[in-house]
Amino acid sequence: MRIADLIVCIAAGVLIVLPVLFPELLPGFKAWTTACPFLSGFVKFALLATFGESLALRIATGAYLRPGFGVLPRALAWGVLGMSVSLAFTIFAAGAPALLARMGFAHPQPVLVAFTVSLTMNCIYAPVLMLAHKLSDAHVERTGGSLPAYLTTMPDIAAYFAAIDWSIMWGFVFRKTIPLFWVPAHVVTFLLPPYLRVGFAALLSVTLGVILALAAHKARSR
């Protein structure tokens, strides 16, 4: 095991055992998440989703970072997307039950509510999020992973759109990961207490990144 892998394992272990050793941290975390939903969404996604991309890179290439990877612009982009996730969770968590009530479900079961929230959100919001992330990745590559260049260079959105491999974006990302991974995963998300949902969603992005990286690595090794 490399030193970097050891550090990552130790850090992950510390994060896992902290709530067990110090249960008094949980009320503070809950209060912070509730009082600052957008800031907490920014922090959770900036840290966890960026780590997921770095972990996927480690699986694919053997290194957590590479020249041009752009950990800072990726973290910034994920943080902003995390704020949008917090907003979307608020909107769809309120709107889906209203939709069920309009359809005649006066007292729907929690699983039905969670499924409805997940389905509507993943059909309406998730493709926009995925496209925004894809365009941001293209801008990171164009600016060489530099945060100042990422912030000061005007993005060529038309060129970024034209460069997207739509056979993968539609045929795999939209058509397969949304119904097969994100919809069922977010059913679980919306069965959790509200203060845990955004953090769990960020962890899901780590999980999916690892799954995709392992699949790509296995395909290349055949």
Write out pLDDT tens, residues 151-172. Answer: 999 999 999 999 998 988 898 8
Rounded Cα–Cα distance for residues 111 and 191 (Å): 7
Query: Is the overall model pTM greater than 0.75, yes or no?
Result: yes
The pLDDT value given to residue 129: 94
Whole-number pLDDT of residue 168: 86
Spatial separation of the C-alpha atoms in residues 77 and 137, rounded to whole Å? 9
Q: What is the pLDDT of residue 142?
A: 95
**Which is nearest to 169 in space by CA: 137, 201, 202?**
137
- With b for 16 or more beta-carbon neighbours within 10 A and e for fewer, the 164-182 pattern comes to eeeeeeeeebbeebbeebb
Question: Would you write out the chain's pLDDT as a tens digit for each of its 222 residues?
Answer: 578 777 777 777 777 677 767 778 888 889 999 999 999 999 999 999 999 888 888 888 888 888 999 999 999 999 999 999 999 999 999 999 999 999 999 889 999 999 999 999 999 999 999 999 999 999 999 999 999 999 999 999 999 999 998 988 898 889 999 999 999 999 999 999 999 999 999 999 888 777 766 655 555 555
What are the tokens at 115?
A: 């499924």
Which sequence spans correspond to the domains of the chain? 36-221
Q: What confidence score (pLDDT) does residue 214 get?
A: 61
Closest to 77 measured CA to CA, from 173, 216, 166, 205: 205
Give, in order, the Cα–Cα distances in Å from 167 to each of 17, 172, 174. Answer: 42, 7, 10
